[in-house]
Chains A and B, each alone.
Chain A
Amino acid sequence: MNPVVDALARSWRDPRGRAGAIMLGAIAAGAAVGPIFLPDPLAQPCVLECRNLAPSWAHPFGTDDLSRDILSRVATGGRISLAVATLAVGLSVTLGAAMGLVAGYWGGTVDAGLMRLVDAALAIPRLFLLLLVLAVWDQVPMPVLIVLIGVTGWFGTGRLVRGEALRLREESYVRAAEALGANRRRIIFRHLLPNTAGPLLVAATLGVGDVILLEAGLSFLGLGVPLPTPSWGGMILDAKSLLFTAPWAGIFPGLAIVMTVLSANLFGDALRDAVDPRGA
């Protein structure tokens, strides 16, 4: 009865969940393994005669205006996007769980303070918050980008987990643990956290979709993944001027974003239903 295994198994039986999982798995596998077999995404096989080539056997997704292979760039960009998304979501879910559990279980002033902070943070659009920081700081290194996205993404999860903690705090088994003399750490790690694993998993899956979009948006604005590292958003930015000469330069990274976000959301929705069959 491991909650995570149980929820995964149940969402696999849901057609949405299965479709999402298969798609997400294929994209992740392609991004992980693809670059090993594909040409260097920065390589320019020939400079002039290989520019803006339409999709062919040699270049299934075509080439861009710098003669680079787009399939190879999409795959490498996927690596970056998925890595950024996974790490950032991992950070934000961890932060959200920690803050939510502390707020929900401690209650009182700690809770009120943390929740007002969350209210304030949620009132500012995340993109603007990031733009502000990134606009001041030219060419942010990737680890900093990940931390920034993670740190600005925990508010919703924090509130969700706080609600769960408030509910669980009243359960008799938590009272029993208190009566046995369990300290806060034990109650939080052994009683509250395992019982919020389901909602956390849902938040993480749906968060991956959000972060991919966010990262693409930032890269499109030239503030995300630093050049020349390929990223999906950055590729669309580059393809902007090729809209009519080489539409494939923008279509393929765009499709990659849509497919990834769609599959993450499908899987997340199925997971949500699996965690809480009563819906909502």
Chain B
Amino acid sequence: MTLLQVRDLVKHYQAGRFFRGTTPPIRAVQGVSFDVETGETLALVGESGCGKSSVGRTVLRLQEPTAGSAVFEGSDLFSLDRTALRRMRRRMQIIFQDPYSSLNPRMTIGSAIAEGIEIHRLAKGKEVGRRVGALLEEVGLDPGYAGRYPHEFSGGQRQRIGIARALAVEPRFIVCDEPVSALDVSVQAQVLNLLADLQRERGLSYLFIAHDLAVVRQIARRVAVMYLGKIVEEGETEALLRQPRHPYTVALLSAVPEPDPRRQRSRIVLTGDLPSPSNPPPGCPFHPRCFHPRRDRRCRSEIPALRPVGATRAACHYAETTPSPETA
């Protein structure tokens, strides 16, 4: 069942507040569509600045969208008024990347976790403390820690506290904005396991934002790869990792360390930087950095549509003949 349906989401940022309109807007998200199914994880992958975090924040209306629609449990998120939106906040939550700035240094972790319970009046008096204790336990922390301040905890523990804070309002859907990118690899696995356990027990759906395909493989059933504000490839995680069809996905995949030393795989290093999102290249947004042997004039002029190719959907004119990571 579809929990969240996002269609043609557009988010532009206007630089310069005083001279509005004199500079071209930063086109962070340029028409992104995806579905998140109940109880499943959709990963949104791409490099820094590709607009993946903007998608997450705009869907939660932490930022106002420029255009598009998002239907969550049957209601259109982008047309909710302030009161309705506040009620809806209980259903959708967010976990942040930086475990250091995600907790108010002046608040005990207990009161941070209790905040959502207070806002939505989910419990009163002693019951609040009981719930906070139960949430701490659920994320693998000692309930006795409730009176402590964030600086007393490690990055991984803080991330658990952030998860408990999100869980406090009993959401159905959580945007995980690179929740493990700032953590050590060993701690990453623990937090990912916790997220997977919570998903199973609570029937949660995740929009999992990441830049690392190795992390995505562990948690997501489906993946959408973003490049310069657009989804360039989408599909079941296994299929997409086995045979990527978009050259950008191939390049991303070649950056994942290969654990088996006997398997030879070439490393594709992209040349150039991500083009400026305020002045995207014409045609395929990836063409200036593309290594596809059939790259031609069409790539420079015609924007490729997202279309089914093999087991995934890819936005490349020549997706059928994209070189695989082994041969590229």
The interface of chain A, by Cβ under 8 A from chain B, is: 1-3, 108, 112, 171-173, 175-183, 186, 190-191, 194-195, 197
Q: Does B220 contact A (CB under 8 A)?
A: no
Please determine whether B104 and A179 come into contact, CB atoms closer than 8 angstroms.
no
- How far, in whole Å, are A108 and B90 apart by their CA atoms in the complex? 28
User: Which residue of A is nearest B174, CB measured?
Assistant: A179
- How far, in whole Å, are A178 and B115 apart by their CA atoms in the complex? 11
Measured as residues with beta carbon below 8 angstroms from the partner, the interface class of chain B is: 20 to 34
- How far, in whole Å, are A45 and B201 apart by their CA atoms in the complex? 88
- How far, in whole Å, are A108 and B14 apart by their CA atoms in the complex? 13
Contact among A112, A172, A178, A195 with B98 in the assembled complex (CB-CB below 8 Å): A172
Contact flags B24-58 to A (C-beta < 8 A → 1, else 0): 00000000000000000000000000000000010
A172 contact set on B, CB distance < 8 A: 96-98, 101-102
Tell me which of A179, A186, A194, A197 has the highest count of chain B C-beta atoms within 10 A of its own C-beta.
Answer: A179
Question: Given A180-B93, A190-B107, are A175 and B62 also a contact pair (CB < 8 Å)?
Answer: yes
Please determine whether A1 and B149 come into contact, CB atoms closer than 8 angstroms.
yes
User: Which residue of A is nearest B162, CB measured?
Assistant: A176
Please determine whether A195 and B162 come into contact, CB atoms closer than 8 angstroms.
no
- How far, in whole Å, are A242 and B2 apart by their CA atoms in the complex? 90
A171 contact set on B, CB distance < 8 A: 101
Q: Does B94 contact A (CB under 8 A)?
A: yes
Q: Distance (Å) between the CB of B235 and the closest chain A CB?
A: 29
The interface of chain B, by Cβ under 8 A from chain A, is: 17-18, 57, 60, 62, 85-87, 89-90, 92-94, 96-98, 101-107, 112, 115-116, 119-120, 149, 151, 162, 165-166, 169
Contact among B57, B103, B106, B165 with A3 in the assembled complex (CB-CB below 8 Å): B106
- How far, in whole Å, are A3 and B105 apart by their CA atoms in the complex? 9
- How far, in whole Å, are A131 and B106 apart by their CA atoms in the complex? 42
- How far, in whole Å, are A171 and B97 apart by their CA atoms in the complex? 11
User: Which residue of A is nearest B100, CB measured?
Assistant: A172
**Mind listing 9 A-B residue pairs with CB under 8 Å?**
A175-B62, A176-B94, A176-B162, A176-B166, A179-B92, A180-B93, A181-B119, A190-B104, A197-B106
B101 contact set on A, CB distance < 8 A: 171-173
Contact among B62, B103, B116 with A173 in the assembled complex (CB-CB below 8 Å): B103
B18 contact set on A, CB distance < 8 A: 112
Question: Given A180-B89, A180-B115, A181-B119, are A173 and B94 also a contact pair (CB < 8 Å)?
Answer: no
Please determine whether B106 and A186 come into contact, CB atoms closer than 8 angstroms.
no
Please determine whether A181 and B86 come into contact, CB atoms closer than 8 angstroms.
yes
- How far, in whole Å, are A108 and B89 apart by their CA atoms in the complex? 24
User: Which residue of B is nearest A174, CB measured?
Assistant: B104
Total A-B contacts with CB atoms under 8 angstroms apart: 72
User: Which residue of B is nearest A180, CB measured?
Assistant: B116
A180 contact set on B, CB distance < 8 A: 89, 93, 115-116, 119, 165, 169
Q: Distance (Å) between the CB of B175 and the closest chain A CB?
A: 8
Please determine whether B62 and A179 come into contact, CB atoms closer than 8 angstroms.
yes
Please determine whether A191 and B104 come into contact, CB atoms closer than 8 angstroms.
yes
Question: Given A181-B119, A182-B119, are A176 and B89 also a contact pair (CB < 8 Å)?
Answer: no
- How far, in whole Å, are A125 and B55 apart by their CA atoms in the complex? 48
Q: Distance (Å) between the CB of B114 and the closest chain A CB?
A: 11
Given contacts A173-B101, A180-B119, 9 further A-B contacts (CB under 8 A): A172-B101, A173-B112, A175-B57, A176-B94, A179-B89, A180-B116, A181-B85, A181-B86, A183-B86
Q: Distance (Å) between the CB of A3 and the closest chain B CB?
A: 6
Please determine whether B102 and A181 come into contact, CB atoms closer than 8 angstroms.
no
- How far, in whole Å, are A197 and B105 apart by their CA atoms in the complex? 12
Q: Distance (Å) between the CB of A145 and the closest chain B CB?
A: 35
Tell me which of A1, A2, A172, A180 has the highest count of chain B C-beta atoms within 10 A of its own C-beta.
Answer: A180
Please determine whether B86 and A179 come into contact, CB atoms closer than 8 angstroms.
no
Q: Distance (Å) between the CB of B258 and the closest chain A CB?
A: 33
Q: Distance (Å) between the CB of B122 and the closest chain A CB?
A: 11
Q: Distance (Å) between the CB of A28 and the closest chain B CB?
A: 28
- How far, in whole Å, are A245 and B103 apart by their CA atoms in the complex? 66
Question: Given A175-B96, A178-B62, A186-B119, are A195 and B105 also a contact pair (CB < 8 Å)?
Answer: yes
- How far, in whole Å, are A52 and B224 apart by their CA atoms in the complex? 90
Please determine whether A179 and B60 come into contact, CB atoms closer than 8 angstroms.
yes
- How far, in whole Å, are A172 and B161 apart by their CA atoms in the complex? 13
- How far, in whole Å, are A195 and B105 apart by their CA atoms in the complex? 8
Contact among B17, B106, B165, B166 with A195 in the assembled complex (CB-CB below 8 Å): B106
User: Which residue of A is nearest B108, CB measured?
Assistant: A1
- How far, in whole Å, are A3 and B119 apart by their CA atoms in the complex? 25
Please determine whether A179 and B93 come into contact, CB atoms closer than 8 angstroms.
yes
Question: Given A1-B105, A1-B151, A194-B106, are A176 and B96 also a contact pair (CB < 8 Å)?
Answer: yes
Q: Distance (Å) between the CB of B92 and the closest chain A CB?
A: 8
- How far, in whole Å, are A191 and B105 apart by their CA atoms in the complex? 9
- How far, in whole Å, are A52 and B116 apart by their CA atoms in the complex? 70
User: Which residue of A is nearest B98, CB measured?
Assistant: A172
B86 contact set on A, CB distance < 8 A: 181, 183
Question: Given A1-B151, A195-B104, are A181 and B94 also a contact pair (CB < 8 Å)?
Answer: no
- How far, in whole Å, are A183 and B169 apart by their CA atoms in the complex? 16
Please determine whether B94 and A179 come into contact, CB atoms closer than 8 angstroms.
yes
Please determine whether B151 and A176 come into contact, CB atoms closer than 8 angstroms.
no
- How far, in whole Å, are A3 and B115 apart by their CA atoms in the complex? 21
B85 contact set on A, CB distance < 8 A: 181
Please determine whether A182 and B102 come into contact, CB atoms closer than 8 angstroms.
no
- How far, in whole Å, are A191 and B94 apart by their CA atoms in the complex? 18
B105 contact set on A, CB distance < 8 A: 1, 195
Please determine whether B116 and A181 come into contact, CB atoms closer than 8 angstroms.
yes
- How far, in whole Å, are A177 and B93 apart by their CA atoms in the complex? 10
- How far, in whole Å, are A44 and B74 apart by their CA atoms in the complex? 86
